[in-house]
Amino acid sequence: MKISKKSARFLLDLARRSIEYFLETKNFLAYEKLKIPEKITEEVNQLSGAFIVLEMTKNEYRKAYVRGENGVFEKIEALGKLITQISVNAAFFDPATPRLKAYELNELIVHLYIPSERKKLHGEYASILAQLDGVSGGIIVESRGRLACSLPALVGEEEEVEHRVRTLRLKLGIKKKAAESAEYYSFSGQHFKEVIA
């Protein structure tokens, strides 16, 4: 699924509003009560997977880094409603980062990533790593009904493919000698980020 820049701007703004609303009220923004511009209503209400990545901007003391991330591949929810949920999850419930503080909002850039269909990779483990080496998109490792994914580098530098795949295997508890038993996929997508004036 592809979305227009106009829809992306609306969704990025919605993500920020959802985070601010949760900070103030400890509740999720009521998506059903929002006014959505007519021109983008169809796109925003399509079923789609999406990811929100929160970036802390660089300053003289630090490099830019990921402050939170959340999302799903499954097309289970209208895109706009999904954004209200995953943006709050990225800000406050990402187990890899502490909860977002109110003062950090001014240093935050919201990224939206809409993943495409995944493409299954075939071959032995070394061959799969070689195939992934030429891929600039994301990676999925799936085993026993569980999956782990690595988005393309939206913030900072891209890690080496071998390290990304190893990290995903470890998340799923797959040892190197059992790496052949997992399934590997690549995917691309659309990336949008807030423009801070």
Task: Report pLDDT digits (tens) over 58-70.
Answer: 888 888 888 999 9
Phi first, then psi, for residue 85 (nearest 5°) are: -85, -50
Amino acid in the structure at residue 84: T
User: Do the beta carbons of residue 70 and residue 86 sit within 8 Å?
Assistant: yes
Under the banding of pLDDT at 50, 70 and 90, the label for residue 197 is low
Q: Which residues pair with 108 in a beta bridge?
A: 56
| Mean of the per-residue pLDDT values of the chain | 90
pLDDT tens track for 123-137 = 898 888 888 887 778
Task: Yes or no: say if 100 and 119 are a contact pair by the CB < 8 Å rule.
Answer: no
177 pLDDT tier (thresholds 50, 70, 90): confident
* Beta strand 138-143 pairing with 119-121: unpaired
Contact 79, 41 (CB under 8 A): no
What's the pLDDT score for residue 120? 92
